[in-house]
């Protein structure tokens, strides 16, 4: 009976929705009372994600199926609520927005003409639902396959942590940095003019030991349009080096400092307006290991949080332009780990095995916001608060505060397989791109975690 009522509702909605297409005619060819193609999608929960599931046709049973139609076709998409929660469906490029449906078995429909070729996104617009998995592709016509982004990916590989110093004595260490201004990929379909150290955001992780003499050689690329510099929070001296490294395009500057205190420190450009140089990507970290080095672990990762203040709203396509007004208001449109919206979810894989000891070197480039660093589903065994390596670590910590321009080092054992999400627990920021994933592989221990769903999964294997 419920299925019959749902289908009846869809017929009723569609019967009245299709004539609405003719209310704003662009010519007689735009008016159609019978859709050329119809899709029916059911809202559901699959593998912990919110999804659309195809109910008919060649895509039946597929999650978030590709909907392929001919250019110029009149398309009807029926949406049936399969999970009881509130949902809708939108295709922004065609100004398509369905009614919201709540309650299992409720339904709605949208009808529109697919009058331009390309690949477009359909999604649920309720807050958080796209991030939870409710989106897919509408493919109109036969669009020519193009690279996802023509600009280089400047995001930083979190596994590039440098070589541990071990038990060696103090020595001279040479650090070569080049400041560049490069238009790079921000996400699929969008880019930003980043300012970098060594063409990545963040810049390279530098690893020395207490007592080392660190020689910093900084060159500003001849292609730059701005003066740049570098300030090491690990250095004792004028501006942390910034006072003597203000370099015009094509210039090189050098200085040396002695690593007096162990810790994990941020470095960044310190040329006015300093906040603009930092937000554009000019930050990184230097680890000053204590005498004897750090205790070896199975996996180490380098993660930095950053903010972009853009004139365009989050999710806009094309080149995103810097907004001074938004930066001064401390209202970023994009937030990210390691230099792009999906650096730690798509571009790079952070992986460990059950039983591994994991260490994350975490810092906040900023320039403005404090981070509440958290790994969903994990507890930090040890947190080196404020990145002090000589103080006793905090133990059994859920979330740790890291100030702008600050850092921390966290350690934990990965004890159960699955995907663990890195976030700033100011969770609205996840909607602006601040998400990472740590994937743990290995055998499940039901004494640590158990659910009927997991038991069925394991039985299936």
Q: What pLDDT score does 150 carry?
A: 82
pLDDT at residue number 127: 87
**pLDDT at residue 17 in the model:** 43
Percent of the chain residues topping a pLDDT of 70: 90
pLDDT at 5 over 60: no
Q: What is the pLDDT of residues 188-209, one digit of tens each?
A: 889 999 999 999 999 999 999 9
Q: What is the DSSP string of 241-282?
A: GGGG--B-TT-EEEEEEE--S-EEEEEE--SSSHHHHHHTT-
Domain with CATH 2.60.40.420 in the chain: 2-140, 172-289, 299-460
> pLDDT-derived band of residue 139, with 50, 70 and 90 as boundaries?
very high
**How is domain 172-289 classified at the architecture level of CATH?**
Sandwich (2.60)
* Per-residue model confidence (pLDDT) at position 458: 53
Q: Which pLDDT score is estimated for 19? A: 39
CATH homologous superfamily of 299-460: Cupredoxins -  blue copper proteins (2.60.40.420)
Q: What is the mean pLDDT of the chain?
A: 90
Judged against a pLDDT cut of 70, whether residue 224 lies above it is answered with yes
2-140: CATH architecture: Sandwich (2.60)
Stretch 150-162: mean pLDDT, rounded? 96
Q: Which of 156, 178, 182 is nearest to 343 (CA)?
A: 156
How distant is the alpha carbon of residue 388 from its chain centre?
27
Question: Token pair for residue 273?
Answer: 């307006």
What are the pLDDT digits (tens) for 231-276? 999 999 999 999 999 999 999 999 999 999 999 999 999 999 999 9
- Per-residue pLDDT band at 452 (split at 50, 70, 90): confident
Contact 253/218 with Cβ under 8 angstroms?
Answer: yes
Cβ atoms of 366 and 396 within 8 Å: the answer is: no
Q: What is the mean pLDDT of residues 399-413?
A: 98
Please, are residues 14 and 56 in contact by the beta-carbon 8 Å criterion? no
pLDDT at position 277 over 80: yes
Which has more confidence, 10 or 354?
A: 354
Buried b (16+ CB within 10 A) or exposed e, 246-275: bbeeeeebebbbebeebbbbbbbbbbeebb
pLDDT at 359 over 90: yes
**pLDDT of the residue at 358:** 98
pLDDT interval class at 314 (50, 70, 90): confident
What pLDDT is stored for residue 188 in this prediction? Answer: 87
Residue with tokens 């930095």: 304
Task: Write down the pLDDT at residue 322.
Answer: 96
Q: Are 105 and 21 in contact (CB under 8 A)?
A: no
Burial of 296 (0-12, 13-18, 19+ CB in 10 A): exposed
Residue 454 or 143, more confident:
143
Which range among 293-302, 343-352, 363-372, 448-457 shows the weakest confidence by mean pLDDT? Answer: 448-457
Q: What would the mean pLDDT of 319-336 be, rounded to a whole number?
A: 96
Paired tokens of 100? 């919201």
The mean per-residue pLDDT over the stretch 285-290 comes to 98
What is the arithmetic mean of pLDDT over 350-378?
Answer: 98
Residue-level pLDDT at 454: 55
Q: How many helices (DSSP H) and strands (DSSP E) are in the chain?
A: 4, 29
């Amino acid at each position: 009976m419920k299925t019959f009522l749902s289908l009846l509702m869809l017929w009723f909605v569609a019967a009245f929705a299709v004539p609405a297409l003719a209310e704003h005619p662009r010519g007689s060819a735009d008016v159609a009372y019978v859709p050329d193609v119809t899709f029916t999608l059911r809202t559901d929960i699959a593998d912990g994600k919110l999804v659309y599931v195809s109910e008919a046709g060649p895509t039946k049973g597929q999650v978030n199926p590709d909907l392929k139609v001919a250019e110029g076709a009149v398309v009807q998409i029926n949406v049936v609520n399969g999970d009881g929660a509130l949902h809708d469906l939108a295709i922004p490029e065609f100004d398509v927005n369905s009614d919201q449906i709540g309650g299992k078995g409720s339904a709605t429909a949208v009808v529109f003409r697919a009058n331009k070729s390309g690949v477009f996104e359909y999604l649920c617009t309720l807050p958080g639902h796209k991030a939870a998995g409710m989106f897919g592709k509408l493919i109109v016509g036969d669009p020519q396959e193009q690279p996802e982004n023509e600009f280089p990916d400047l995001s930083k590989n979190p596994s590039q942590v440098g070589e541990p110093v071990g038990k060696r004595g103090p020595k001279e260490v040479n650090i070569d940095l080049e400041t560049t201004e490069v238009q790079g990929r921000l996400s699929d379909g969008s880019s930003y003019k980043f300012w970098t150290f060594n063409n990545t955001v963040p810049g390279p992780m530098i690893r020395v030991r207490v007592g080392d003499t660190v020689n910093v050689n900084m060159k500003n690329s001849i292609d730059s349009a701005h003066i740049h510099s570098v300030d090491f929070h690990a250095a004792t001296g004028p501006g942390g080096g910034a006072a003597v490294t203000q370099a015009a395009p094509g210039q090189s500057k050098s200085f040396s400092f002695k690593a007096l205190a162990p810790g994990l420190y941020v470095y960044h450009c310190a040329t006015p307006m300093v906040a603009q140089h930092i937000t554009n990507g000019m930050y990184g970290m230097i680890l000053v290991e204590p005498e004897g080095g750090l205790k070896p672990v199975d996996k180490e990762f380098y993660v930095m949080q950053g903010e972009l203040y853009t004139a365009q709203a989050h999710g806009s396509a094309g080149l995103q332009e810097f907004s001074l007004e938004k930066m001064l208001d401390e209202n970023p449109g994009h937030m990210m780990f390691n230099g792009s919206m999906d650096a730690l979810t798509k571009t790079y894989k952070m992986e460990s095995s059950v039983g591994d000891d994991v260490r994350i070197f975490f810092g906040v480039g900023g320039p403005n916001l404090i981070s509440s660093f958290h790994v969903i589903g994990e507890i930090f065994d040890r947190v080196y608060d404020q990145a002090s390596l000589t103080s006793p670590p905090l133990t059994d910590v859920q979330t740790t505060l890291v100030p702008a321009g600050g850092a921390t080092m966290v350690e934990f054992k990965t004890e159960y397989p699955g995907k663990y999400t890195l976030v700033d627990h100011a969770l609205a920021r996840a909607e602006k791109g601040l998400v990472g994933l740590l994937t743990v592989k290995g055998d499940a221990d039901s004494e640590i975690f158990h659910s009927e769903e997991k038991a069925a999964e394991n039985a299936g294997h």
